[in-house]
Amino acid sequence: MNNSGLKNIPSIHEVIEDSRLQELINCKGRHVVKDYIVKITNDYRKEVINNIDIENNITKEIITNEIIKNVIDLANIIERKSLCKVINATGIILHTNMGRAPLPKGALDKVADVAGNYSNLEYDLLKGQRGSRYESTETLLAKLTGAESALVVNNNAAAVFLCLNTYANQKEVIVSRSEQIEIGGSFRIPDIIKRSGANMVEVGTTNKTYISDFGDAITQDTKILLKVHTSNYKIQGFTCDVKGEELVELANNNNIITMEDLGSGVLINLQDYKLPYEPTVMEQVKKGIDLVTFSGDKLLGGPQAGIIVGKKELIDKIKTNPLTRMVRIDKLSLVALQEVLKIYLEESNVTKNIPILDMLTKDIDELTNEANNLKTLIEEKLNEKVEITIINDDNATGGGSLPGVVIKGVALKVACKNTSSNLIQKKLRDYKVPIICKIRNDDIILSMRTINKQDYDIIANGFYDVMIRL
């Protein structure tokens, strides 16, 4: 035990009055900073008690300096953990770790309006009485997808679960072994099926499944033929996949339900934009699949939501499942989804007006142009400190969509002279608006496709601050 180390620890009061902490106190509040000081001081005390090597004649001033530094560091760490905007310069469009789809401006305004006021969430303005919270969005979904009816819940995992639980609890679901997928965040089809109460009957093999495999497996207990879109990987080579139409025919002959978990719900034909084919929700509905589920915040470009479209009779029964209430969508996501769907229905410039689609469909000329603009801004701020070149860059859609598809893009390669790119990458991540970027061959890479034009100034200022303060 070390006496002077303990004796010289400043009091909480002494530390909190230190001028170096006043800015932090103004920003976070006195009681918050006091909590930090108590924690850091206690940690320090424990360290002194446990560490006999600590200097004997350590002064109060040294200890105070140490405590103040640690308090500021702790405040920064805690700040970094609170949810905030970041700039995604990775070129991964639906970045699951960065919140998937950013919302269109118009939808955000409507969210603010509904959130900050009373709304007609469950009030029918035409009749002056209680109404349905889902009606508007479900009507839009039915119109857009050609389905008879729709239901919106918290996310697609919940949508899949609800369909299975409503129709196959204690009964059988048949699914191909090639579609036993896991997407991130512990969503595994076999687990979801099991938890829904259904018995999973696996058919076929990893690379080949035939319609006869499904046919042979049908029993009196079979309720659902399930198809899962392999949205985050592709099986290539010697393969055979059962087509939706085949499943529909088989199911109709046996009076059972077909269901497809589409994962990412696309409402536009991506091939029109020189992107690879991805089945649209409309196509699957048209094939006669009874229940189609998909996410609101993948390629649809809306808020987190799970959407079920399909036969009215089937969806009506799902609505009466008590579990539906537990996975209800909140009003803010609901209004955001409503507004995004309106863009699909009402506006001609869909890909320009939905941020995810705008990013996905930008061509090389447009990206090069933007790269030049950002390059100029950063150079103006930093001139000889960095060397910037415009390079080709491969982008990915991410977020469990368009597996294996590489989209050609453009990036800025920023070579920071005499400074480690790892350090710069970290400092950019620590910037007040965190800038998340890749490193390649010791250069910082800023992928243009996922960077919002409105953030160019922030990026240039970020580089300036980071390079000057280094």
Give me the DSSP letters along 331-380: HHHHHHHHHHHHHHHH-S-HHHHSHHHHHHH--HHHHHHHHHHHHHHHHH
Q: Nearest to residue 13, comparing CAs of 41, 47, 49, 46?
A: 41
Judged by beta carbon, residue 396 or residue 435, the one nearer ligand PLP is 396
- Residues sharing a CB contact under 8 Å with residue 313, sequence separation 6 or more, in sequence order: none
Tell which positions 126-165 bind ligand PLP, by CB under 6 A.
Answer: 155-157
Nearest to 174 by CA among 209, 139, 145: 209
Binding segment toward ligand PLP, per CB under 6 A, in 179-187, 278-286, 432-440, 462-470: 179-187
Contacts of 337 (CB under 8 A, 6+ apart): 137, 152, 296, 302, 303, 305, 329
Alpha-carbon distance of 358 to 54, in angstroms, equals 59
3-state secondary structure of 452: coil
Largest CA distance in the chain: 89
Residue among 179 and 246 whose Cβ is closer to ligand PLP: 179
* Mask for 366-405, x = binds ligand PLP (CB under 6 A): ----------------------------------x-----
* 260 to 289: interface string for ligand PLP, x by CB under 6 A: -x-xx-------------------------
Nearer to ligand PLP, 156 or 395 (CB): 156
In the bound state with ligand PLP, the residue whose beta carbon lies nearer, of 37 and 357, is 357
Strand partners, 440: 443
Please tell me the count of residues contacting ligand PLP according to CB under 6 A.
Answer: 15
Among 161, 187, 344, 456, binds ligand PLP (CB under 6 A): 187
Residues 192, 226: contact at Cβ < 8 Å?
A: no
Interface with ligand PLP includes 95 (CB under 6 A)? Answer: no
State in angstroms the smallest separation of the CB of 230 from ligand PLP. Answer: 7
Q: What is the DSSP letter of 277?
A: P
Letters for 222-261 (x = contact with ligand PLP by CB under 6 A, - = none) are: ------xx-x-----------------------------x
User: Closer CB to ligand PLP, residue 338 or residue 425?
Assistant: 338
**Which residue shows structure tokens 């049908």?**
218
Per CB under 6 A, residues contacting ligand PLP are 155-157, 181, 183, 187, 228-229, 231, 261, 263-264, 295, 306, 400
